[in-house]
Each structure stands twice: as structure tokens, then as C-alpha cells.
Structure 1
Amino acid sequence: MSPRLTAALLALLLVAGCKTTSHPQAKPMPPTSDNRTPPLVIGHRGASALRPEHTLESYRKAIEDGADLIEPDLVSTRDGVLVARHENEISGTTDVASRPEFTGRRTTRSIDGERVTGWFTEDFTLAELKTLRARERLPELRSTALDGRFEIPTLAEILDLAAAESAARGRVIGLAPELKHPTHFASLGLAMESRLLDALNAHPHTRTAPVVIQSFETANLRALRERIPRPSNLTLLQLYGDPNEKPFDTVAVGKPRSYASLATPEALREVATYADAIGPHYLAIAPRKAEDGTSRSPLVDAAHAAGLQVIVYTFRPENHFLPGDYRGTGGPAARHDAGSIRQIRDAIAVGIDGFFTDDPAVGRRAVDGD
């Protein structure tokens, strides 16, 4: 096992606070950033700055470029199969709108309280979805040369890929699956939590490899906590949206609660009763200079004080995604790797324990040294 992998596993293991029997080099460490363990590099939707997102090719590229974990967003088909799409509405990431046989599937429905028009995975069987092909979600920023070449992958295919790549490369590739719109899918009789756990527990790779299960909602994480005892190689990440946004499960039961209200020191201690880590946007960690001249983040410090790790999202090297001070020359689509590396290192300086990136090669350089 390489030193980099050992460090990555240590970082995830301190999220879980546990040992692993399959990787004896990985020792448990106290849940504190003072150890300065290198943060986890997580391939966000794979290497989505380089390949159409949520395709096996995107995940494979992320692994090739040094990601410690790959992130499949999970939605359900009509026949109850978990597949990887960022949203259940798929007109932006597949060729479904150009397929005359599916014209009649276009519809409008309420998703998490918002009216959305398009084509939805829950209206397709897996066999039907497999006839579609992925396309670039951001054609204004990235080439569309690979449009039409790749299928929508199932969770089972992604697990097999992670296992095969781990064996081939001699390092363990973890996963960070996100459950998308869990209240919506549960209302359709297509709840995803049990199917995810069953798949993870049944696959030899994910019975031991690091797995971080994410959700922007809270109730499903609380329910998962009851089924995933500590310690475990399966850990839970509470994602945070914009401060004024609300987890939809809290809205659905008539007890809306903003993400800002979940970020106070008291609330973070509550989150720590069911989650192992929080996942805020990088803007939320807002570095500040302490009296000793070091960079500090109130949110990171409060989370660590509550026993939570902090895994931020999402770094990407095009000017369009970089805050002003990190941008380079050229237009919105111009890449500025140096600026992205500097941005990531500024986040690392305040003690984050991991981060999502659309370009894991850039993230790897930020962690390992340029």
C-alpha cells in the first residue's frame, strides 16, 4: 500500500473512528485536524471536468488521476434499480430528448417542492435507460466530443469497477454514494436506502473498502445510523445546501429547518449523533486569520469540536467556477489549474478532512505537492 493510500484511509477511518481488518496499515486516529492527515480527494461525479459525468469512463478517469474515492449520485429506475445520475430529470445529461420513442414520457412533476419538466428516471425501466447515451452537461464550458458514447451505469457496475481498479492498481478505491431526492423516491415506493445497503453489504469490495454515504436530507441519515453501527467502514455525511435552504424531509413533515440552523455549535453536536461528517460548500468554510497568523474557519473548528469531519464541495479549475482571486486569464471556460490548486490549499490550511473535485488530477496535485 502506498503512503498516499495509507494517509487517505487514515483520514476516512478517523471519520468513522474505527479500525479495519482488511488493511492492517491503517490505524485509528483521534478525530482532530491537528494530525494534519492529508485530506481525501473525492472524484465528484467521477472526473466530470474531463468526461461526461456519472459514466464508467468518468469514474475510471478519476481513479487514474488519483482519486481516493469516487462519487456516484444515485437515483432509481421504475423497476427499482439504482443508477448514477446527478438528477432524476435526465434531459441535460442524456440524449433522451432526441429519442422519438420516449417523446411521450416528457412530463412535469413536483420534485422537492419545485415544478420540474423533463424526463425522469422513475418513468423508465433499466432496460430502457440502457438504450440512452450520456452527454456533456456543460457544453458551454467543455467539449461535447464524447457525447453519445457512454451508457448510464448501475450501482452494481460502479462497485465492480471500483473493485477491478483497486486490484489492478494495488490501492483501495472507496466510494461516496449520494442518495438523491430520498423523500421523493420513498413517496413513489422506490426508497433507495435499503437497496444501497444491500448492495454494499453483498459486494466483497464494499464490505471492507471505505464508503461515505451522503444526503442533503436528514431523516434518511438518521434511519441509516440505526442500521450502521459505529465502528463501520460505512460512514455518513450530512450535506449542507445554501444557508436559507431547507432539507426537504423537514419541509415534508411540516417542520422546516434551514441549513444555517444546522450549522450552529449546538446543532453540530446534534448532527454528530447520527452523522460522521458534514459536507458544506467551500464558500461556507470562509477562512479567517487567527491572532497567531494561521488560517481558521469557524465552521470547520466547530464541526471538529463536535467530533465531525468536514468534507467540502466542489472544486473545479475553469474560471467560471473559481472565485475572483483565483481566476486566470481568458474567458469562463479557460482552465486555471494553478488557481484551483491555490484555492484547494487554502481550504486544506483551515483543516478540512476531504474535498470533492471535478478534476481529481488537480486535487491530487494540491494535496501531494505541485
Structure 2
Amino acid sequence: MKKSKTKSVVSEPASDEKNLVSKQAQRQAERQQKKLQKQEQKQKRQLAREKKQLIKKQDEVRLHRSFKRSYHEDYQRKTELPSLTSQASAAFKMFFKFWKIFLPLLLIFVGLYIFLIGAMSENTLADVKANVEQTNKDVADGKIGTVGKAGLTLLGIISTGGLTTMNDAQVVIAVLLFAIIWLVTIYLARHLLAGHQEIKMRDGFYSALSPLVSTLVVGLIIFLEAVPIMLTIIVFQVALTTEFLSTPFYALLFFMFAALMITLSLYLLSSSFFAIIVVSAPGLYPLTAVRMAKNLIMGRRLRFLIRVFYLVIIVALLYLLLLMPAIILDGILKAQFAWLADSKIPFVAIIQLTITVFIFIYLSIYFYLFYRALLDYNDDAKLEL
């Protein structure tokens, strides 16, 4: 009996030692597993960072670098874009397809412009018509017809946009209203093209104005980038007053300077203009939007400028086809009915302001569709009437 007790006493510490050794081994194994897991997590994080960096490098388009040769196949960016006419007609299609949304938007902003700034007065229109009549007598010996007079009147009032002469506060209000039109129209266009047919016009006012401050910051950047053009205009006016351009050599120097300044501004403005569209997405900072727009427009500036010049023609045709008949009709009616002339109701100014706001909405839709075309979206099927 004594021997068995001694054996059990000896075996107990041995088993305890084995348990301790096994526990230590388990702890070491667990520690090693944790270390391996941490290393795997670090490796995964590093891989994720590398992937993000690769994506950023792929997204960033750096076609030309200093002291490095640029090859044609490297900076040629093939993009399938719609033609000029189809792009312009697509914007018209979208406005008239969703007219129940865009037409109230147009009327609201026409009312806001009239209420906050004021329409062009009838006295301004009468002064322009009087100047046209005087020019007709002095220059053309009264040979200019009704259509010609209406065209000259249109040229005289087109710079007003249908608004009265604005002070500094009214200029700020006009810019803010234009920014709101831009943001609301792009917000509505984005959701309509995404298939959200249930969206309403009021949703644009409630949800589209969050990037207003960012949009104004991008607008400030655009203003700074337009400084070379403004400087060229100032220098040109000074050169005219001082007869600096009368010398051929100095005239050549000025036109070289002007071409350089205008090219620089157009190069900078072409990318920053798209930043106004990019920054309309929620959560984007202004400088991030400018960088993304620069990558998007790189290698495509010429196509963008061609569309801008084409838009100038479209805007001129809209004023010509819509405002000239209004000027002619206004003159005929006021000549036939004296009470209309005495009422001083600014029919032409209201029509011109309506056309101007429509052009603002149309330009917003047009440039947003062009932006989506650069991103390889196919919106033709969505705009079928």
C-alpha cells in the first residue's frame, strides 16, 4: 500500500508538468497563429493600398511630361462621341420628354429673376428702337426694312438677357440663381437618366443644393483662369486709345501676346468647366473635382471646344428664331393698339428672359450629356420620345 501511494505522489507532479508544457505549447501556437494572422492582414492591407494606387495611376492621365518624349499612340484617346447635331438634339429631346419637370422649373426661375432683379424696362427697348431708326435714316437712307430693324434691335438688347440694369447686389443674386439652375438641372437629369421616373422637380431644390459652396469655389477657380483673357482685353483697349497698334511691328507683338493668353485661358478653362459638373456629385471637394475633370478632358479638349462653338451657333439661332418674331409682333401690336403702348408691359423683355432661362437649362442638360458620353454612357435609348 505504501508503494502505491508513493507512485501516485510521484506521478501527479509529472502530469502537472506535462499539462504546463502542453499549455505553453498551445499558447505559443496561438501566439504564432495571431502573428500569422496579423501578417496576413498587413499583407492584405498592403495589397489593397497597392491596388488603390494602381487604380489611381490608371485613372490619372499624364500624357505629356517634362523632358520626356510623348508618342502619338500614348496620348491618343479614342472616344466614341455622338455627332454635333445628335448631341444638340438629345438635349432638346430630354427637355421636351420630361417637360412636366423642366417647364415648371423654367417658369419658377423666370419669376425669381423678375421678382429679385427685374425685367428690362420698356424705356430701354424704346431707346434701342429710336437709335435703330436714327441709324436707318443716317446710314441707310431709310432702306432698312422691318426685319432688318428687328435684327438690329435684337443686337441692341441681347446683352441684357431680358433683365434690367443690375447693381452689384443684383449681379451676385443673378450668379447665385444661375448656379442653382445649373445644380438643379444636372441633379434632375442624373436621376432621370438613371431611370428614376418618379422624381419630382421639388426634389431637385431640396437635394441638389448641397454642393453649392463647392460649385462657387470652382467658379472662383474659373474666374482666376479667365484672368489672361481679361488682361488681353484691357491691354487691347489701352492699345487702341494710345494708337499702339498703328505700328505693324507692335501690332504683330500684341496679336502674338493675345493668342498666347487666349490659348492659355482656353486650355485651363476647358478642364475647370467640367469640374462644375463633376462637383455636383455629393461629397466631392472642389480641388478633387478639378483634378478628375482634368483627367477626363485630357486629350479631348479640341472636341470640347468644337462643341462650344457649335453651341454658340445654336444659342444665336434660338434668339433669332424666337425673339425676332416677338420684337416684330410687339411693334405691330403697339402701333395698332395705343393702349398697349401706354400700358408699358415689357412683353419683349419677358419673352427674352424666358428664352435666356431656357438656354441656361438647355446648356446644363447638353454639357451633362456630353460628360456622360465621355464616361461611355449610352443614353440614346433613354431619350427616345
TM class by smaller structure: under 0.3
Tell which structure's C-alpha radius of gyration is larger.
2
Q: TM-score, normalised by structure 2?
A: 0.23
RCO higher in structure (CA 8 A, sep ≥6): 2
Q: TM-score, normalised by structure 1?
A: 0.24
User: In proportion to residue count, which structure has more helix?
Assistant: 2
